[in-house]
Structure 1
Amino acid sequence: MTRKLGWRRRGADHGRVDESNSRQPPNWRSSNYLVIDLETTGLDTCNDHIVSYGAVPIREGRIATSEATYSLVRSERESSEAALRTHCLRRQDLAAAPSVGECVDRLDELLRGHILVAHGAWIEHSFLRRAFKCSQRLFTYDVIDTAKLASLVLDVSVGPNQSIGLEYATSRMGLPVHTPHHALGTR
């Protein structure tokens, strides 16, 4: 059942995912979450880099918008043409931004005591895991994937390595879409 809910508990064995039925997701009202969105130079999780992140905490079922965090991230890699068209973050826009190491420090601090929530979480997880590793840290946070949850709620079948789009899911649920492809959605 845990896999169907999009709940993934990070194991102590260096990031292996426990998708067994032995553990249920936590009670959402008593848990702390950190919703994270990343913008990257592309979608190659081995070679592309993070160029911005947005993070919003949820505590006791309430979104703490006053604690929302956004940062650009300095990258030595140019954005792909497709990524640049999507997020419009050029190398010169990132020149004075904090390094990935500084951003990892901040994200690690924000994530402590929280469960990571992301849409299509495998992407955020892959980029964050690599960024943490480059900063000599293990990424051991639990993850909830809202794309998996949306496909269940909307009864949409998706194939392997596919997920339901955030804009599609929100419009189908009658929710507003705020500035897609900006890590904090506040452009």
Structure 2
Amino acid sequence: MSEEERTWARMVDRRSVNRGDLRRTALLGAFDELLREQTLEQVNVAEISRRAGVTRSAFYFYFESKAVAVLALMAELYDDASEATDLLVKAEGDPRERVRNVVATLFDSVDRTPHTYRALLEARASTPSVQELWDAGRAEFATMVADMIRRERGNGNAVDGPDAAALAAVLLDLNDYSIERHARGTGPGREQHIDAITHLWIQGIYGSTS
């Protein structure tokens, strides 16, 4: 398990996470099935437990609430984002290609399970603790991006501009809102959306479209 996975697991699960835990896997599988049929509000823990073939108390052994359990379902997206961000902040190769790959990876993750991402949006809106956990995870990415911007400026590759931490936060806000619209089926088409986000990242950091 990578450091990113351990960090995410500590934030989400009540127990030390073993992704091979059969009861936990069964609960998340049942939860995922139900979210394909119902909204997060409509899903109840008793039905999750029944489908998983475990007791209701088993659910709470692992997760504080179904809203928090949504974050566990999003672990793959978090892992994908971690890997993509690692490639981005290494600042090797063509900047446009790096940025576009990161954005495309995020869209790919949401496209695999849009129902889960919609449940995440619902959980964040209804449960302050979930929003706080999500913000804590995203803050890690923002720190990495801000450090990359400072290095690129110091190396003469990026233009001077707003405070690096503020710029990183705003660019990640752009990603979040764009992915939310994509998950809801609104906004530009996928490729146009990715192209536009990439353009704004490149302009914001490097001051150029080339």
Range into which the TM-score falls when normalised by the shorter chain = under 0.3
By percentage of residues, which structure has more helix?
2
Which is higher, the Rg of structure 1 or of structure 2?
2
TM-score, normalised via structure 1 length: 0.27
Higher relative contact order (CA 8 A, sep 6+): 1
